[in-house]
Amino acid sequence: MPSPVTDADLAFTAELGQQLRVDSVRSSTSAGSGHPTSSMSAADLLAVLVSRHLRYDWDNPGNPGNDHLIFSKGHASPLLYSVFKAVGAVSDEELMDGYRRFGSRLEGHPTPVLPWVDVATGSLGQGLPDGVGVALAGKYLDELPYRVWVLCGDSEMAEGSMWEAFDKASYYKLANLVAILDINRLGQRGPTELGWDIEAYRRRVTAFGARALVIDGHDVAAIDEALAEAGNLSGEQPTVILARTIKGRGFSEVEDREDWHGKPLPAEMAERAVTELGGERHLVVRGPVPDEARPRRQVNGQAEVKLPAYDRGQRVATRKAYGDALAALGARSDVVALDGEVSNSTYAAEFAKAYPERYFEMFIAEQQLVAAAVGLQVRGYRPFASTFAAFFTRAYDFIRMAAISQASICLSGSHAGAEIGADGPSQMALEDLAMMRAVHGSTVLYPSDGTSAAALVAAMADLEGISYLRTTRGGYPVLYDADESFPVGGSKVLRSSGEDQVTLIGAGITLHHCLAAADQLAGDGISARVIDLYSVKPVDTATLSAAAEATGGRLVVAEDHHPEGGLGSAVLDALTGAGHAELSVAHLAVREMPGSGSTPELLDAAGIDAAHIAEAARRLLA
Amino acid sequence: MPSPVTDADLAFTAELGQQLRVDSVRSSTSAGSGHPTSSMSAADLLAVLVSRHLRYDWDNPGNPGNDHLIFSKGHASPLLYSVFKAVGAVSDEELMDGYRRFGSRLEGHPTPVLPWVDVATGSLGQGLPDGVGVALAGKYLDELPYRVWVLCGDSEMAEGSMWEAFDKASYYKLANLVAILDINRLGQRGPTELGWDIEAYRRRVTAFGARALVIDGHDVAAIDEALAEAGNLSGEQPTVILARTIKGRGFSEVEDREDWHGKPLPAEMAERAVTELGGERHLVVRGPVPDEARPRRQVNGQAEVKLPAYDRGQRVATRKAYGDALAALGARSDVVALDGEVSNSTYAAEFAKAYPERYFEMFIAEQQLVAAAVGLQVRGYRPFASTFAAFFTRAYDFIRMAAISQASICLSGSHAGAEIGADGPSQMALEDLAMMRAVHGSTVLYPSDGTSAAALVAAMADLEGISYLRTTRGGYPVLYDADESFPVGGSKVLRSSGEDQVTLIGAGITLHHCLAAADQLAGDGISARVIDLYSVKPVDTATLSAAAEATGGRLVVAEDHHPEGGLGSAVLDALTGAGHAELSVAHLAVREMPGSGSTPELLDAAGIDAAHIAEAARRLLA
């Protein structure tokens, strides 16, 4: 518990709040952009938090006992960086000369290029869901008494993802999560929906299972009391501090004014602001530090993993192989799994059965599913999150931001493409390869059989960045021996001879159809090379180039995906970069909107089955 | 108001409920897939709704006075189609032989291939947000007394988008919106988070501003009373009927059982179910029809539109041209606009000022933003929805589903790419072209100047399907005369001669850098063709092909986007399909994660500015 507050403490935090305001004004004016007024409303909240409640060893951001501080309202970066100055982590020079400048780590919105920042924010409604993931780790995995403090804006309460976060925080009884809501009533273009209707916020957050503490966000004594109560881990509810604040607080020319969002003060105005705020200060604050007596529970990422072994020819769905391999990976105690209420379809259930203590059911909340994974990896875990591939589209903003967060997370999307059959297009992922390939630094994998799927799941556990596995609904024959290796960035040539006239390229369901097409073509005396392009990004340019060379540039690429941005694009990008001679590419993809039907009917209708692949090959040779 | 209910009415609706159950069982068993138990829980709710409350002219689904019925829980399609049979819209044969079959309109999840279906559902948490859009049209635009009835599942209450919908429904006082929540306590893989804790649901929906009516969802008298009250438009709140129901209701072998989600009953079990439910029935029901006395307010999509005219060389941001053109398009009374609380950045504010009665502020809720657009177009309006391009990633699942809904909506994403500068990567759209190109039937436009931006906004207003405009933050010189035309699927050749040695292809900010690069190259005696690829999808294959032919296959493509799925892909896809001779393509794109900085610094760092374009061209010629 924090020590009883004294008048001197209160006077100091009030001064510190003014310093944070002054520095928010100075840094943004110096940069010529930024959000000073959104920082000023929350300055007192942060002053009290960092000086008296946040347990943080600023000399060692890696201290496992540190509390976590997340700015869900990432545009208040001037405030966050001013806090970093106040604790001595960043110099005044860096703040003034670096903020928002090219090459500086003090970016316009916080990112983990800074050692004290866990996750990138700036797309609103993400910091709190990320914080849920960190808090899950704290309560259920680390079993350490750190708290997760998340500064939220009132505008972002309009994002559904915030309510996914409150819902999961209460479901999982995350007393270690504290949302500090800076209710300054003004958004970018005008008043928020709820303005200063604090009661409306209170009703909503309590209905979602949180404990609400309502305060004047500029009364340092009230803030201190609320933070002390919020930081107490004895309860079973997350806490929301509903702080009524004033945007631009402390500078009368901008206080509570509509037209001052996201604008630095012009230099002469900034000067008046600093004067009104009492001038520059250079207070240094050192708040409480974590109790060193509680070391982190060790997790082991090195355990021996015995992957499932399938027999060649056995029919195994790649989604089932995902579940089997994930359960095997559970031998590594850093591996955790999450799913969006479809674990019996994605086969994440195999892991949940084997390691229930490391499985988190996120129900049908895909944004929170991905955000929780991001939060868990902040604490050093290796999360595997799964749902239908189509439904990862729901979380694209979170996936994009996870890349900016430098997060290493593994995503598995099942039920890819028209292959799924009768359920119809709403359940068919036909955009996921395009979406996932465009994520910075991502790895995109698309196995065709159980053996390669299992091997790739194991590989994902050690990849940096966002990795994505696309799995198929139906069971198809195992193509490889259990000891075959599948390096990321590789491919497999399943058929080849010195006489190859055309190359057939597929992955997932279409690889099986490429093989059948090669058989049909062989009956016509046409020798076809067949490539299993299981690694869509990075892609095996060398093997593709060699095949293009060997087969006169004649390639058939077949994919169960819309024509843009998927397998075909990966092949063209690779070969174009390689500076090739003439290519004749037949690109078979799902070009019309599918309906319901059987798998063979839908693959035929899309023109991506064996008959169409063979026919395309024949046309290239005609 | 519906007539007072009689015992005969109640007996009929109870019988009808049984028929809907029987037909849900029969159709799904016949199809070999589907969700009978999820249909059976809601059968009584639908029986009372269609027989006594839903005002619908089944012979004329286009009747403007019709109520709307949306199955947000789209997997209950057996129930919906059984309702269509009961009202005589679909025959028993079609239901039995068509459901989920190839080529049938009775798809696994409802889509608007059926005339009585407004929007595709099946990705949970979308039907209610779509319904908000329809209800907005009813209350504020059509001013007709139709109601929007949305059947929701309890599992989908975990989706944040549902809370975005409740929030907006109460903000906009949509008394014409009724959510019927089928609380059968079981999801796909087990119990829902809240089970039968009806009070928890009540607290949440009332906290979000809805009126809650709690009933036993199998008590037809209680249902009738609640629907009568809900359908009354006199209030100012949306209504949520919280119906406690039993999954699989009516067949003792599956009632309230965990392992029966999404499974048809085997034939012999189905036989027992039909027997227990009292056998097959073929009741035909005709409920109330809308009051013909209230014709639809006419909207005019043909008005003369005077687009803004800019002078060549004038610096105009394409986002500003979007706002100007949109305001001009407001002369058409079918055009409506929505924005996600950034209208002063996207310039949707120009429309809001001119036509406040046709502008809907959706605050920071991008999923609801897109869903509202989908709902508004159900009623024949032409919605333009805008936010930062980066934040449309938040709504990708809604955009994907909008395509399945056959919706015609116009999206405008501002602040594309690293060009935005100091705000940093969270605000930079670097995946949006990939994402939007992969949407079925989409149009993707990326103007470089004010004139083309304005012309393309006007063109979007008449396009079918999902159209997307990518706009840029900064102001750059107008390149075209105001009377220039910009057909969708076209491009502009800005520099060309008979001596061209290399082609430079850009759009948006990079086009300006292509022009500057061409000037630099001219200084070296190198003649470069420059193409403005403002139409990214469809793309102008003929012009690209001609340029490739004319310049020896040497192309430099520069884009302010990650390398996957954007401009470069569009060019390669076009030229590969065209069966070209050797291509030497230099593809300049944003390959590293940008930070903050000035626009020139960031474009230089990404290697997509004039100097890099010129250098790439020189290398191709070396």
Q: Do A598 and B102 touch (CB under 8 A)?
A: yes
**Which residues, 6 or more positions from B437, have their beta carbon under 8 angstroms from its beta carbon?**
A434, A564, A565, B444, B536, B537, B565, B566, B569, B570
Which of B162, B419, B556, B564 would you mutate first to test chain A, the one with the most A CBs within 10 A?
A: B564
Q: Which two tokens stand for residue B222?
A: 């209680």
CA dihedral of A104, A107, A113, A114, whole degrees rounded to 10: 90
pLDDT in tens, B174-205: 999 999 999 999 999 999 999 999 999 999 99
Which of B208, B400, B562 would you mutate first to test chain A, the one with the most A CBs within 10 A?
A: B400
Q: How far apart are CA A539 and CA A533, in angstroms?
A: 8
pLDDT in tens, A92-139: 999 999 999 999 999 999 999 999 999 999 999 999 999 999 999 999
Q: How far apart are CA B517 and CA B511, in angstroms?
A: 10
Nearest to B123 among A161, A426, A437 (CB): A426
pLDDT in tens, B520-541: 999 999 999 999 999 999 999 9
For residue B123, pLDDT over 80 is answered with yes
Of residues B94, B366, B419, B431, which has the active-site annotation? B366
Q: Is residue A309 helix, strand or coil?
A: coil
For residue A203, which residues of chain B lie inside 8 Å, CB to CB?
Answer: 203, 206-207
The pLDDT mean for chain A works out to 97
CA distances B313 to B175, B416, B451, Å, are: 51, 22, 11
Q: Do A365 and B108 touch (CB under 8 A)?
A: no
Q: Which residues of A are catalytic?
A: 366
The predicted pLDDT at position A576 comes to 85
The predicted pLDDT at position B241 comes to 98
- Is the entire prediction scored with pTM above 0.95? yes
Q: Which two tokens stand for residue A163?
A: 């309510």
For residue B223, pLDDT over 80 is answered with yes
For residue A293, pLDDT over 90 is answered with no
Q: Do B596 and A107 touch (CB under 8 A)?
A: yes
Q: Which two tokens stand for residue A174?
A: 């995350």
The predicted pLDDT at position A28 comes to 98
B124 to chain A: nearest residue by CA?
A364
Which DSSP category does A265 fall into? P
B578 to chain A: nearest residue by CA?
A584
- Determine the distance in angstroms separating the CA of B478 from the nearest CA of chain A, rounded to an integer: 26
B390 to chain A: nearest residue by CA?
A397
For residue B568, which residues of chain A lie inside 8 Å, CB to CB?
Answer: 573
Q: Do B31 and A422 touch (CB under 8 A)?
A: yes
Q: Which two tokens stand for residue B76?
A: 């209950």
Instruction: Taking residues B108-118, report their average pLDDT.
Output: 98
Instruction: Taking residues A52-58, report their average pLDDT.
Output: 98
Which of B397, B596, B598 would you mutate first to test chain A, the one with the most A CBs within 10 A?
A: B596
Pairing mode, if any, of strands A68-71 and A211-216?
Answer: unpaired
The predicted pLDDT at position A578 comes to 58
Pairing mode, if any, of strands A535-537 and B68-71?
Answer: unpaired
Count of all residues that appear for chain B in the document: 622
The predicted pLDDT at position A520 comes to 98
* A 388-427 residues inside an 8 A Cβ radius of B: 390-391, 393-394, 396-397, 400-401, 403-404, 421-427
Nearest to B83 by CA among B181, B180, B16, B26: B16
Pairing mode, if any, of strands B554-558 and B502-506?
Answer: parallel
Which DSSP category does A49 fall into? I
A512, containing H or E segment: helix A509-523
Q: Which residues of A506-540 are buried (b: 16+ CB within 10 A; e: fewer)?
A: bbbbbbbbbbbbbebbeeeebbbbbbbbbbbbebb
Nearest to B396 among A100, A401, A435 (CB): A435
B464 is catalytic: no
Give the number of other CB atoms < 10 A from CB of residue A302. 10
pLDDT in tens, A434-475: 999 999 999 999 999 999 999 999 999 999 999 999 999 999
Nearest to A222 by CA among A199, A196, A245, A256: A245
The predicted pLDDT at position A298 comes to 78
Q: Is residue A72 helix, strand or coil?
A: coil
- Determine the distance in angstroms separating the CA of B514 from the nearest CA of chain A, rounded to an integer: 20
Q: Do A100 and B596 touch (CB under 8 A)?
A: yes
- Determine the distance in angstroms separating the CA of B34 from the nearest CA of chain A, rounded to an integer: 8
Q: Is residue B275 helix, strand or coil?
A: helix
Nearest to B423 among A108, A349, A437 (CB): A108
The predicted pLDDT at position A142 comes to 96
For residue B292, pLDDT over 90 is answered with no
In sequence order, what are the beta bridge partners of B191?
B186
- Determine the distance in angstroms separating the CA of B545 from the nearest CA of chain A, rounded to an integer: 14
The pLDDT mean for chain B works out to 97
pLDDT in tens, A218-240: 999 999 999 999 999 999 999 99
Q: How far apart are CA B481 and CA B458, in angstroms?
A: 16
Q: Is B595 on the interface with A (CB under 8 A)?
A: yes
Residue A413 near residue B382, CB atoms below 8 Å: no
B241, containing H or E segment: strand B239-244
Q: Is residue A90 helix, strand or coil?
A: coil
- Determine the distance in angstroms separating the CA of A2 from the nearest CA of chain B, rounded to an integer: 34
Instruction: Taking residues A580-589, report their average pLDDT.
Output: 86
Nearest to B504 by CA among B606, B621, B591: B621
Q: How far apart are CA B36 and CA B25, in angstroms?
A: 5
* B 258-297 residues inside an 8 A Cβ radius of A: none
B170 to chain A: nearest residue by CA?
A193
For residue B161, which residues of chain A lie inside 8 Å, CB to CB?
Answer: 160
For residue A343, which residues of chain B lie inside 8 Å, CB to CB?
Answer: 189
CA distances B284 to B12, B13, B88, Å, are: 10, 11, 6
Residue A17 near residue A47, CB atoms below 8 Å: yes
Q: Do B569 and A564 touch (CB under 8 A)?
A: yes
pLDDT top residue among B583 and B514: B514
For residue B510, pLDDT over 90 is answered with yes
Q: Is A562 on the interface with B (CB under 8 A)?
A: yes
Nearest to B565 among A564, A581, A601 (CB): A564
Residue A316 near residue A457, CB atoms below 8 Å: no
Give the number of other CB atoms < 10 A from CB of residue A295. 9
CA distances A294 to A62, A64, A176, A358, A381, Å, are: 14, 9, 16, 21, 19
The predicted pLDDT at position A505 comes to 98
**Which residues, 6 or more positions from A445, have their beta carbon under 8 angstroms from its beta carbon?**
A456, A459, A460, A467, A468, A469, A470, A488, A534, A535, A536
For residue A566, which residues of chain B lie inside 8 Å, CB to CB?
Answer: 438
Q: How far apart are CA A120 and CA B235, in angstroms?
A: 43
Q: How far apart are CA A437 and CA A564, in angstroms?
A: 11
The predicted pLDDT at position A577 comes to 64
pLDDT grade for A582, boundaries at 50, 70 and 90: confident
* A 81-100 residues inside an 8 A Cβ radius of B: 100
B172 to chain A: nearest residue by CA?
A193
The predicted pLDDT at position B581 comes to 60
Instruction: Give the CA radius of gyration of chain B.
Output: 27
Residue A383 near residue A330, CB atoms below 8 Å: no
pLDDT in tens, B144-180: 999 999 999 999 999 999 999 999 999 999 999 999 9
pLDDT grade for B578, boundaries at 50, 70 and 90: low
Region of B565 (left: φ > 0; alpha: ψ -120 to 50; beta: rest) is: left
Q: How many CB pairs under 8 A join A and B?
A: 341
pLDDT in tens, B405-456: 999 999 999 999 999 999 999 999 999 999 999 999 999 999 999 999 999 9
Q: Do B158 and A364 touch (CB under 8 A)?
A: yes
A598 to chain B: nearest residue by CA?
B102
The predicted pLDDT at position A277 comes to 98
B599 to chain A: nearest residue by CA?
A102
Burial status of residue A300 (CB atoms within 10 A of its CB: 0-12, 13-18, 19 or more): exposed
The predicted pLDDT at position A292 comes to 76
Q: Is A578 on the interface with B (CB under 8 A)?
A: no
The predicted pLDDT at position A452 comes to 98
The predicted pLDDT at position B302 comes to 85
Percent over 90 (pLDDT), chain A: 96
Instruction: Taking residues A11-36, report their average pLDDT.
Output: 98
* A 484-503 residues inside an 8 A Cβ radius of B: none
Q: Is A120 on the interface with B (CB under 8 A)?
A: yes
pLDDT in tens, B293-338: 777 777 888 889 999 999 999 999 999 999 999 999 999 999 999 9
For residue B2, pLDDT over 90 is answered with no
Quick one: how far is CA B274 from the chain centroid? 39
In sequence order, what are the beta bridge partners of A240?
A179, A212
Q: How far apart are CA B75 and CA B38, in angstroms?
A: 8
